[in-house]
Structure 1
């Protein structure tokens, strides 16, 4: 018997070109899964795939903008064509654009809704039938759908109104989906990170970026690998165990 709990399983990770997505892909590969890496930046995906291969794992790259419904469907189909099945979907792709309603633009709000909500819906809709099939046919007898949310989905702060909206909506979507899929043995989970050292802050304008960094200056931020560990824990539980929600905050974080 393999010592790797995900031996034979296939995972698809969105936003896998950096940060939490890349760390999660590496973690799932170490657990034995073959991983489809999905993001828009093909060059960055190839680097992650090379890292996984160098560590003895297996990954394929799928460069796609999943804010487009057809590209999301194509990404799932390419995963099936190249890896044969789909047991785990990690919805990690997202963007955080912080600013007050007075000073932001509708375009920035639309970008967040497009990636944080619409893209998640597109890839989930395409993946669910295959997750159900995997749960009924795999030795594990279970499949997993993990959504990366944020503590901002529960604790809204000034400047984060639409970002918090997208993450709170994710929580509601996941809870409804959990109830729909529980009899199909597809586990639906949400991991809610607090302050993590990722590229998200780089998308902010200079003034907001400096303010965000000042706010967390006294905090030792989480690493992407910390969130990957949480996701790895969730998807490697035996079938009888379901971890539906997990908040992971930095030790010094008060919000």
Structure 2
């Protein structure tokens, strides 16, 4: 039997309790990686871990709040304590709270910045030294950071101003980080999905949800496993190949 592409590699996936994060964790496990699952909902993480074990994989559950630097650092250390290395970081955790400047509470804007921006920065800062070490010691001779952005970084729409702000900033951060880590053999990639059928939509207010449904009327959204497949493709490329950016839209999506 051929060796799986990620055999011996260790991945840490944030926001792994549902949606894109859970689907990505399962996909990376199928490709042979041991996976650290990070989120706030331990019960949901345990369900994903059971799924991975059921397909012959190895998973480790980490409940943490990455909006605090200490939470992110502890999560990376927990991964190292369990698996001994870190080869892949998928920065997926995020929240989308839509609303206009007139009607949105400032706490909702702060929540998006705290998780979508600060949380990602905390995880990246904590993980980079170990990813560099993994690239130098792995048979694959490469490590990966995959950041999950959004088409909202490209197309701003009424009600998504701060969400678009967080994702547009992520795009620039990813490109700068990619250049910084080139010589360290750590690939940095950005995946920008359009609308995906996940729990992210469930967090919207009734009014914002109605607007989102109207915008997607007649369009079948992406599924979480569609995005997971894209991430799996990126991190299983041989060392000479770097997929810097991957834009995913529903086949009928016009923005």
Q: Which secondary structure does the structure 2 equivalent of 1:183 belong to? A: helix
> Which residue of structure 2 lines up, in the alignment, with residue 10 of structure 1?
10
Q: Does 1:108 align with 2:112?
A: no
Q: Does 1:226 align with 2:226?
A: yes
Q: How far did residue 89 of structure 1 move? A: 0.1
Quick check: 98-107 or 124-133, which moved more? 98-107
1:60-71 matched pairs, under 5 angstroms:
60-71=60-71
Q: Provide the aligned length of Structure 1 versus Structure 2.
A: 255
> Which residue of structure 1 lines up, in the alignment, with residue 208 of structure 2?
208
Separation (CA, whole Å) in 1 of partners of 2:211 and 2:153 = 20
Q: Which secondary structure does the structure 2 equivalent of 1:38 belong to? A: strand
Separation (CA, whole Å) in 1 of partners of 2:154 and 2:86 = 30
RMSD after superposition: 0.8
Q: How far did residue 3 of structure 1 move? A: 2.5
> Which residue of structure 2 lines up, in the alignment, with residue 241 of structure 1?
241
Q: Which secondary structure does the structure 2 equivalent of 1:234 belong to? A: helix
Q: How far did residue 2 of structure 1 move? A: 4.3
Separation (CA, whole Å) in 1 of partners of 2:119 and 2:210 = 28
Q: 1:122-153 deviations in whole A, cap 9, x for unaligned?
A: 01000000000000000000000000000101
What TM-score comes out, normalization by structure 2 length? 0.99
> Which residue of structure 2 lines up, in the alignment, with residue 186 of structure 1?
186
> Which residue of structure 2 lines up, in the alignment, with residue 154 of structure 1?
154
Separation (CA, whole Å) in 1 of partners of 2:148 and 2:66 = 16
> Which residue of structure 2 lines up, in the alignment, with residue 136 of structure 1?
136
Separation (CA, whole Å) in 1 of partners of 2:63 and 2:8 = 23
Q: 1:158-197 deviations in whole A, cap 9, x for unaligned?
A: 1110000000000111111001000000000000000110
Q: Does 1:27 align with 2:16?
A: no
Q: Which secondary structure does the structure 1 equivalent of 2:115 belong to? A: helix
Structure 1 stretches of 4+ with a deviation exceeding 4 A read none
Separation (CA, whole Å) in 1 of partners of 2:210 and 2:84 = 45
Q: Does 1:93 align with 2:93?
A: yes
1:66-81 matched pairs, under 5 angstroms:
66-81=66-81
| Unaligned ranges ≥5, structure 1 | none
> Which residue of structure 2 lines up, in the alignment, with residue 117 of structure 1?
117
Separation (CA, whole Å) in 2 of partners of 1:166 and 1:208 = 18
Separation (CA, whole Å) in 2 of partners of 1:165 and 1:124 = 19
| Unaligned ranges ≥5, structure 2 | none
Separation (CA, whole Å) in 1 of partners of 2:233 and 2:244 = 12
What TM-score comes out, normalization by structure 1 length? 0.99
Q: 1:20-53 deviations in whole A, cap 9, x for unaligned?
A: 0000000000000000000000000000000000
